[in-house]
Amino acid sequence: MKADGSAPILVVGGTGDPTTPYPGARHMARALGDGVGVLLTAEEEGHGTYPQNRCVTEAVDTYLRTGRTPAAGTVCRGSMS
């Protein structure tokens, strides 16, 4: 699954997501390879943090517009309604 030579790929994982468990997001980011998979952690319950969590939304929108990922280890605290 390595993506050597690829531009950084943003992987978003919610710590309380029962549908796509957080360990899977961690695994995916690692499997993509160093400097490629960038994990953005959302400390939220439930499935789907975009666009409900402002921090996640800003990070994803920036990535989609510019290709820039958040700093490695970035954590978005819970803010969904």
Residue extents of the structural domains in the chain: 11-76
80 has a pLDDT exceeding 90: no
- What's the pLDDT at 74? 97
Q: In angstroms, how far is CA 33 from the centroid of its own chain?
A: 15
- What's the pLDDT at 2? 79
78 secondary structure, DSSP code: P
Instruction: Select from 9, 48, 14, 44 the least CA-distant residue to 29.
Output: 9
pLDDT digit string (tens) for 12-27? 999 999 999 999 999 9
- What's the pLDDT at 78? 84
Q: What's the average model confidence in pLDDT over 56-76?
A: 96
State both tokens at 49: 């943090």
Neighbours of 58 (CB within 10 A): 13
pLDDT digit string (tens) for 48-58? 899 999 999 99
* Mean pLDDT, all residues of the chain: 93
Instruction: Select from 48, 17, 14, 11 the least CA-distant residue to 32.
Output: 11
